[in-house]
Structure 1
Amino acid sequence: MKGPKVLAAALIAVTLDNVQALQRKRDTSRADIQYQAHYFQQKINHFPENKLPYAKDNFTQRYYFDSTYYKPGGPVYLYISGETSATNGLGVILENRYYGASYPFNTSTTDQLAFLTTAQTIADNSYFAQNAVFPGIEGDLTAPGTPWILYGGSLAGAQTAFSIKKYGDVLYGGIAASAPIHVVVGYPEWYNPIQKYAPQECVNRINNIVDKFDALVAKKQTAAIKQFKALFGLEVLTDNRDFASAIADPIGNPGFYLSNTWQELNWNSTYGSRDFFYFCGNVSNIDAPKEISDVDYALSKYTNGEPWVGLGGYADYIKKHTLPLCSSGDYNSHDCWGTQNKSAWADISNTATRSYVYTSCTEQWAFPKGKYNKVPASPDLNVYNSFGDFNFSANRLAFVDGDQDVWNGLCYHSPLAPARRQTSDLHPELFITGSGHHWDSYGILNVDAEPQFIREAHLWEIRTVKQWLQRAILLYSITEYLPEY
């Protein structure tokens, strides 16, 4: 679940009481402002009963905060950073363990990664909320005495949901955007929104080209396969799986890729990329130079004279725009598209890639059995899905999804989820038509200037949280007068 490098959300930028004041401010995400890093002593192991080592040890977890709009008595907005390194932020951003500058250890062996679990990560959020200190701000802002509202998108969205469900007595509420609350082994449905919403001429041409190539592979037509790879400049990739990943790079996949793909589209041009549409434009170009369009017939003898329509533009784009993304020029390298490299997978250096792989696969090359920890032969999906799966529910937890999100098949509004979804004050939900992967994470201070579907989503989020906070004020004021027992 590839996350943004810069996190900017209009919702967490401010205390919601100051929305109108913010809209009069400069129209910017303020992502250009640098914030001072702060460091929190976090527990390595929140659950010493698991008999793992480091039961009493801590690690330094990085966080950022912005108090520009804070007023005494206001809530705390915690943006869950997820599988990215925190850089700039508004509100409070807590960096995920095993990312950025928040590694418990100097390396990431199988044993050292034993503490990278959903349970440990969401326990971080609860412990931080109960113990965080914000230099320069008077008063105690810890939870549950102060309402803490969480926000997260993608993996961080799931962590937000799990945090509210598990620690609802500490964390007051949360918004989970594009949160994969359901997990599976393998996820080909990632391509469904692209098949449905991407330019259809481009989709049809690529599907036809792939079908024709698959037929060559099925018939073991070695010469044709080699010729096809050479058209893309990728004859060096002898493993057909690696070759398939390389030519699919502009489209993307549920794991790793180098291009800006459908998932990297965004309504906000500051963060998004239009590369996917440039790619499709090449595949669909009917005015390509003759030397490119002629490539459509390069393999026609294998298809009874039928041209591979769009192949020339497809291959030309890969050679000119995708291959240069492999900075070393070694397309078989682990940093590019070569997966058959045991030593590269086994590198125990601290990297976001290694942390992400650990949480999303069971590759034995990467994680050989350790003294305290080992990856199973097949993942135990119930550990994750037992939080609620498609029937996930928790008080003051909002689910926000987009219909064009490649991850929506695993989210609250998945086509596989119960057909009827009913929103309420305590269990709000919003399905944004025309939205991609947690597009509501991106905002500008002048909410009225945003595209309609994003603007209305942000206004809905603001209303939702304000309702929660109004209830919190009432609740807290009532409890002052309740007798002690």
Structure 2
Amino acid sequence: DHDTPLLGTFGQRVWWNSEHWGGPGSPIILFTPGETAADGYGGYLTNSTLTGRMAQEVKGAVVMVEHRYWGESSPYSDLTGHNLTHLTLRNSIADFVRIAANAKLPFDPATSDAAHAPWIMMGGSYAGSLSAWTESTSPGTFWAYHASSAPVEAIDDYWQYFVPVEKAMPRNCSSDVSKVVEYIDKVFAKGSKKEQVALKEKFGLGKLRNDDFSGVLEYGPWQEQSNNFYNPHPLTVFCDYVEGAYAPNITTTTKPGAGGVGVVKALEGYAQWVKEVYLPESCQIYGYDDPASIECYDTYNPKNKLFTDRTVDNAIDRQWQWFLCNEPFGWWQEYVFSLPLHNLQSII
């Protein structure tokens, strides 16, 4: 704890690449992958990524530091609430400032600290926010900052996240997803217990309570987050299922128009996507052996491994959940019922 140094110290792993370093006094690019173990991020030391390319351009070196409490840089192996109390934004910023100010890097142990060489802090997503927040709250050590995709504005009820997702959907898919959600809302609000269970069983989620079931449905629109250039567009696959147009399970011989296929067919397609694409093996990353298990989605079970796994490499990223609950990061994708929003329903 930087405010209570008598508590002692712990080690943080560091990687570096001095391939393009121009000698004493040359820039040092500091990067952290943020809320994850740094293993596997070695590519950010090379010129195939922005950090390494920046180092090449300015004749600098790249230093990658693992964030406190992740990987092998955690002061505790058992992440109880008490042991997580030192995981704060203040301490995290202070870690990187202290490293830059006191660095004795192997390729230049005498003049590699920030008093003798210009340090540049770079990062993306949360790590980008760290860069921006460091400049704002602890200036004077780093000479420059670069923040990419950095959510620096805290929004607690960030329902707006799904607005561009809805706009990215084909119009028939957007229309049908809204109809499905509206239908499910009505069943949960006015349907009998038997009707509600039957609806959830259609999705393979009959054992879940209504809110946990609804949480799984949200992963359909979430597919936009996984877009890349080398695999089928996940959101398009989801929409093709909803519209009954995903081979080899095509249920319509004509291309759906802008109005979609209607709630009956769309409900079947949505359920099919959940059962065939999303659910299989999805709980295995949380430690469940059965590929068909849905136990990881049951938030009412106190024995759920999401709650009981306190190891540093836990699958739910317990450290990040701690951050979200104890720092004003916001970013919760939740719906504010008082806002009259088109195409934004109470479940998704």
Aligned residue in 1 for 2:225? 263
CA distance in 2, matches of 1:64, 1:245: 38
Instruction: Pick from 171, 183, 201 the counterpart of residue 200 of structure 1.
Output: 171
3-state SS of paired residue (1:109): coil
Instruction: Pick from 24, 36, 49 the counterpart of residue 84 of structure 1.
Output: 36
Structure 1 residue 159, shift from structure 2 partner: 0.9
Instruction: Pick from 5, 21, 31 the counterpart of residue 70 of structure 1.
Output: 21
Structure 1 residue 124, shift from structure 2 partner: 0.5
Change in CA separation of 1:407 and 1:77 when aligned onto 2, cut-off 3 Å:
farther
Percentage identity across paired residues of the two chains? 29
CA distance in 1, matches of 2:320, 2:126: 10
Count of matched residue positions in the alignment of Structure 1 and Structure 2: 295
Structure 1 residue 175, shift from structure 2 partner: 1.4
3-state SS of paired residue (1:125): helix
Aligned residue in 2 for 1:349? 311
CA distance in 2, matches of 1:159, 1:119: 10
Which amino acid in 2 is paired with 1:315? A
Change in CA separation of 1:240 and 1:292 when aligned onto 2, cut-off 3 Å:
farther
The TM-score normalised by the length of structure 2 is 0.76
Change in CA separation of 1:290 and 1:322 when aligned onto 2, cut-off 3 Å:
closer
Deviations 1:315-365 (A, max 9, x none): 2221111111233346442xx31111224425432246110111113xxxx
Cα RMSD after superposing both structures: 2.8
3-state SS of paired residue (1:114): coil
Instruction: Pick from 132, 140, 161 the counterpart of residue 169 of structure 1.
Output: 140
Instruction: Pick from 280, 283, 299 the counterpart of residue 339 of structure 1.
Output: 299
Aligned residue in 2 for 1:10? none
1:311 lines up with 2:267 in the alignment:
yes
3-state SS of paired residue (2:156): coil
CA distance in 2, matches of 1:290, 1:167: 57
Instruction: Pick from 224, 231, 234 the counterpart of residue 205 of structure 2.
Output: 234
Change in CA separation of 1:158 and 1:67 when aligned onto 2, cut-off 3 Å:
same
Change in CA separation of 1:143 and 1:196 when aligned onto 2, cut-off 3 Å:
same
1:93 lines up with 2:49 in the alignment:
no
Change in CA separation of 1:203 and 1:55 when aligned onto 2, cut-off 3 Å:
farther
The answer as to whether partners of 1:85 and 1:100 remain within 8 angstroms in 2 is yes
Which amino acid in 2 is paired with 1:76? I
Which amino acid in 2 is paired with 1:223? K
Structure 1 residue 312, shift from structure 2 partner: 2.3
1:109 lines up with 2:68 in the alignment:
no
CA distance in 2, matches of 1:235, 1:315: 12
Change in CA separation of 1:203 and 1:316 when aligned onto 2, cut-off 3 Å:
same
My pick for the range that moved more, 309-318 or 140-149, is 309-318
Aligned residue in 2 for 1:189? 160
The answer as to whether partners of 1:164 and 1:172 remain within 8 angstroms in 2 is no
Instruction: Pick from 137, 140, 148 the counterpart of residue 119 of structure 2.
Output: 148
Deviations 1:23-55 (A, max 9, x none): xxxxxxxxxxxxxxxxxxxxxx1112xxxxx63
The answer as to whether partners of 1:129 and 1:171 remain within 8 angstroms in 2 is yes
Change in CA separation of 1:280 and 1:181 when aligned onto 2, cut-off 3 Å:
same
Once the two structures are superposed, the pairs formed by residues 33-432 of structure 1 within 5 Å of their partners are: 45-48=1-4, 55-72=6-23, 73-86=25-38, 87=40, 88=42, 89-90=44-45, 91-137=62-108, 139-237=110-208, 239-252=209-222, 261-266=223-228, 269=230, 274-286=233-245, 307-324=263-280, 325-327=282-284, 328-329=290-291, 331-333=293-295, 336-344=296-304, 345-351=307-313, 353-361=317-325, 381=328
3-state SS of paired residue (1:120): helix
Deviations 1:40-91 (A, max 9, x none): xxxxx1112xxxxx63411110121111111113211111221121122312
The answer as to whether partners of 1:150 and 1:175 remain within 8 angstroms in 2 is yes
Structure 1 residue 145, shift from structure 2 partner: 2.3
Structure 1 residue 138, shift from structure 2 partner: 6.1
CA distance in 2, matches of 1:127, 1:195: 43
Aligned residue in 1 for 2:346? none
Structure 1 residue 236, shift from structure 2 partner: 2.0
The answer as to whether partners of 2:129 and 2:152 remain within 8 angstroms in 1 is yes
Structure 1 residue 273, shift from structure 2 partner: 6.8
Structure 1 residue 97, shift from structure 2 partner: 0.6
The answer as to whether partners of 2:118 and 2:143 remain within 8 angstroms in 1 is yes
The answer as to whether partners of 1:209 and 1:309 remain within 8 angstroms in 2 is no
Which amino acid in 1 is paired with 2:220? P
CA distance in 1, matches of 2:105, 2:332: 35
CA distance in 2, matches of 1:214, 1:63: 50
The TM-score normalised by the length of structure 1 is 0.56
The answer as to whether partners of 1:80 and 1:93 remain within 8 angstroms in 2 is yes
Structure 1 residue 191, shift from structure 2 partner: 1.3
Structure 2 residues not aligned, in runs of 5+: 46-61, 253-261, 285-289, 334-348
Which amino acid in 1 is paired with 2:117? T
Change in CA separation of 1:245 and 1:84 when aligned onto 2, cut-off 3 Å:
same
